[in-house]
Structure 1
Amino acid sequence: MPRREWLTGAERRTFTTFPDLDERDLVRHYTVDDDTFHLARHHRGRANPLGFTVQLLTLAHLGFSSDAKINPNQAVIDFVADQLGLHPGHFNRYAPRRATRNTHFAEARDYLGLRTVDKAAELELTAWLSPLAMSTTQGLPLVHALIAELRSRRHLVPTIHVVERLVATALTRAARDTCALLLSGVPPATLERLDGLLTPEAGRHETRHAWLRQPPGRPSQRSFLHLLKRLEFIRALRLDPDAARTVHQNRLRQLAREGAQLAAHHLEDFEPQRRRATIVATLLDRRETLTDAALDMHDRLVTRMFRNAKLKRDAMQLKRGKSINDKVVLFEGVGRALIEARASHADPFEAIEAVVPWTEFVSSVADAKTLAQPKAFDAMHLLKGEAKTLRGITYALFDAFVFNAAPNALDVVEAIARLRDLKARHKRKLPADLPSSFVGSSWRALVYPHGRDAPPDRTHYELCVHSALQNGLRSGDIWVDGSRKYRDFDTYLLPRRVWTPMLEAAERGDTPLPLTITPDFDAYWDARVAQLERDLGRCSAASSAASCRRCGSRGNGWCSRRSPRACQTTPGRCRSACTTRFLG
């Protein structure tokens, strides 16, 4: 079986070719200082000083060993040659001489104090890289981190194939450790049940693994209850939800993605630990997915209830429109006849019968009463007729999830708990003291048709709770245990059982907190001030030197080593150059 490659061809080429440098990078990494200048002059001829200096500065910049065969670009050669007062063409005579290059490379390596990576160093680097590998499944960021660590340890960077091998070892170890962490708290009996998810049960044509991956379906009572059935099956396995927080989310998502994409017979080909860890990750991810799918379906059902009520109201108004218009025309004619009869002192009843027969007028008044609606009538009055599906899932929803809330939404959660308790005790009539702070003005007349002191209407109170729950979930004031989309902010943090021992150990001075910076502000501030003072001191010393030969390109108004006395660079410009060189 071929070895897996962790880098693409394009990514690998970025480490096997010389990087593109702008003027800032050239000045920062390829400025020839006095020590390098004098060291280069010890080599005979013109090609050797130039080639040695280029090789020395390239090694100091990139740190790659001679086996990497990374040749500098022409901009570096021109920049270094200009500082040495040599023609760049001399480098062409230096490049083909392999023995000389190897000798100069060894000299530059010893001068810079760099060491090769031996077996002991490989073991140390792999151990250092393993914690980083726990946070990613990608090879490229680990290659960058490993090369940076090699440079900080004063090691020569080996060929990219060696680097990739070390990264592959760390990633393989991280994958194995991730599986072990996920399975550490799973009882043996549960592990056997996990294997059973990949084989069809008696009387079933599909595996539980495939059944759990079914789509949620269209919003309906049946689809909602089917979601809860699958969710309850996963909960019955009693997997610890905190197990997902003991491993990095990138690793967990990668395992869950594999489990969701692979069929059961593919998972059976995995070795036992990886297969079971993949199933655990898939189930933990699926539990959150099903929870969110159920809550989203509830949201759509509530939205559909309001939309259907508004559509029904609009249809009713459209249907009554012609009848209402006929009545308006009739009453306008009757009204005009009465006005004329009053003006002429005529009999008003004869005036009415001149427009419409009296019996027809009496029946039109009765029809107008049926067409009229209360002043406060709106779509809210039609909700009860559109809430059959929502009422069918009310207590299944309340029983399936644990809701928590911010202080401004606590009444909604309390109302859910009270309704759940009344349902368990088979109480049909609601008490008058139920929480009601979330009952808005548009709901008040429907929920309390007999006044606030009387018991609320059960149907409208339940619908009002559904609406308040929908608004609370959308705003983030209500969150649900086990949800990914509607989760508590504290679940983004380290579990208390992990954080508390770490904090206590740090307070005792046993082990510092694993942070990239010191948690003590005074210590952090003092370290940054000291670093700034060191950098400013280096810049000041360089800018006030008698000779400004540390500067670079003549074409930008900087001085050359060929004629330092003829340099016309102003002190301010030299100071700017040194600032760029040292502070970057």
Structure 2
Amino acid sequence: MHASIQLELGLAVQLGTLSWLGFVPDDVASVPPTAVARLAEQLRLHPGALQGYGRRDHTRTDHLKLVVKYLGWKTTAPGSQALKELTQFLLDRAMEHDSPTLLFNLAREYLMSAHVVRPGPTVLAKMVGEARTGATALTTEPLGHLLTEEVRADLERLLIVDVGLGMTRLEWLRQGAREATASAVKTSIDKLLWLRAIDAHTVDLSALPNERRRFLATVARRSTNQALDRREERKYPILLAFVAQAAIDQLDEVVALFDQARVRA
């Protein structure tokens, strides 16, 4: 089949694929036959012309450059502004989320909306990992001076089962009052006093962005003791953010319970 027809169809497939998927597969000929057939019909070309396209690497690469330029897209070439922006985007999102899958999907959506050609999945997965590592460093370093041996010991106590409570302090603090009974008021005050005894109300986390503080506190509320323990050093900023937020929430709960009890009286 004439080479020019093959090149024309291959170029058209790349044009449609980039607009639709946000990237072009290395093996352009692997595009679903139905899609190729429909495109070939519109161009009045034989769909079989695509077979063998891209055997010469520079053909696919040269065509991709043309497609990117024609569509006005950008690439994440080393040193490019698009790469720097993607790196910063991932770091910002990693400060709010910890799931690699979620971060990968957020990056994919961002690249599509920004009209940036998505790098290969291996490259993007590596960037996600680097962003998560960077977010951990940006969390640990500003809080290093707060995590003294005494504070670490207090945070460790959160994960140890208290015989009197029959549960860990973390579980105890996560349980909110359901009604303004005398027992509930007493328990709420006990929690507030315990948090104040470890100076949770004086913890200054202003060095962290608000989103990161909320994220860390949410991780503590949703994780099991075992999951937190497995994080080793990374658990301390998480627990610190939790007790700092718990000190605020617990005071609000005590005030709310007293208000409810007063109204009932």
Q: Same fold (TM over 0.5)?
A: yes
Judging changes above 3 Å, is the alpha-carbon distance between structure 1 residues 100 and 53 closer, same or farther for their aligned structure 2 residues? farther
Match of 1:55 in 2: 14
Partners in 2 of 1:252 and 1:76 — Cα distance? 49
1:290: Cα distance to partner?
1.8
Judging changes above 3 Å, is the alpha-carbon distance between structure 1 residues 107 and 56 closer, same or farther for their aligned structure 2 residues? farther
1:123: Cα distance to partner?
8.4
Match of 2:134 in 1: 173
Match of 1:189 in 2: 150
1:185: Cα distance to partner?
3.6
Deviations along 1:16-64, one digit per CA (max 9) or x if unpaired, are xxxxxxxxxxxxxxxxxxxxxxxxxxx8553432332332464477552
1:181: Cα distance to partner?
3.7
1:244: Cα distance to partner?
6.0
Partners in 2 of 1:73 and 1:98 — Cα distance? 14
Partners in 2 of 1:100 and 1:161 — Cα distance? 22
Secondary structure of 2:26's counterpart equals helix
What are the within-5 Å matches in structure 2 for residues 150-229 of structure 1? 151=116, 156-199=117-160, 206-216=167-177, 218-229=179-190
Equivalent in 105, 112, 125 of residue 60 of structure 2: 105
Equivalent in 255, 259, 270 of residue 216 of structure 2: 255
Supply the AA of the counterpart residue of 1:157. R
Does structure 1 residue 71 correspond to structure 2 residue 26? Answer: no
Match of 1:46 in 2: 5
Tell me how many residue pairs correspond in the alignment. Answer: 251
Deviations along 1:463-507, one digit per CA (max 9) or x if unpaired, are xxxxxxxxxxxxxxxxxxxxxxxxxxxxxxxxxxxxxxxxxxxxx
Does structure 1 residue 95 correspond to structure 2 residue 86? Answer: no
What are the within-5 Å matches in structure 2 for residues 287-306 of structure 1? 287-305=247-265
Deviations along 1:274-333, one digit per CA (max 9) or x if unpaired, are 12112112212322332232233223223322xxxxxxxxxxxxxxxxxxxxxxxxxxxx
Match of 2:244 in 1: 284
Deviations along 1:386-441, one digit per CA (max 9) or x if unpaired, are xxxxxxxxxxxxxxxxxxxxxxxxxxxxxxxxxxxxxxxxxxxxxxxxxxxxxxxx
Judging changes above 3 Å, is the alpha-carbon distance between structure 1 residues 73 and 246 closer, same or farther for their aligned structure 2 residues? farther
Larger Rg belongs to: 1
What are the within-5 Å matches in structure 2 for residues 493-572 of structure 1? none
Partners in 2 of 1:52 and 1:171 — Cα distance? 37
Partners in 2 of 1:242 and 1:188 — Cα distance? 17
1:210: Cα distance to partner?
4.0
Give the conservation status (yes or no) of the 8 Å contact 1:56–1:105. Answer: no
Unaligned runs of 5+ in 2: none
Judging changes above 3 Å, is the alpha-carbon distance between structure 1 residues 133 and 270 closer, same or farther for their aligned structure 2 residues? closer
Equivalent in 88, 97, 121 of residue 136 of structure 1: 97
Partners in 2 of 1:133 and 1:77 — Cα distance? 41
Normalised to the residue count of structure 1, the TM-score between the two structures is 0.36
Give the conservation status (yes or no) of the 8 Å contact 2:10–2:50. Answer: yes
Percent identity, aligned pairs only, is 24
Judging changes above 3 Å, is the alpha-carbon distance between structure 1 residues 257 and 55 closer, same or farther for their aligned structure 2 residues? closer
Supply the AA of the counterpart residue of 1:64. F
Partners in 1 of 2:13 and 2:224 — Cα distance? 56
Higher relative contact order (CA 8 A, sep 6+): 2
Give the conservation status (yes or no) of the 8 Å contact 2:162–2:168. Answer: yes
Give the conservation status (yes or no) of the 8 Å contact 2:17–2:24. Answer: no
Give the conservation status (yes or no) of the 8 Å contact 1:256–1:285. Answer: yes
Give the conservation status (yes or no) of the 8 Å contact 1:259–1:282. Answer: yes
Partners in 2 of 1:55 and 1:127 — Cα distance? 28
Partners in 2 of 1:164 and 1:227 — Cα distance? 44
Aligned alpha-carbon RMSD (Å): 4.0
1:105: Cα distance to partner?
1.4
Partners in 1 of 2:258 and 2:173 — Cα distance? 20
1:201: Cα distance to partner?
6.9
What are the within-5 Å matches in structure 2 for residues 18-29 of structure 1? none
Give the conservation status (yes or no) of the 8 Å contact 1:244–1:284. Answer: no
Unaligned runs of 5+ in 1: 1-42, 306-584
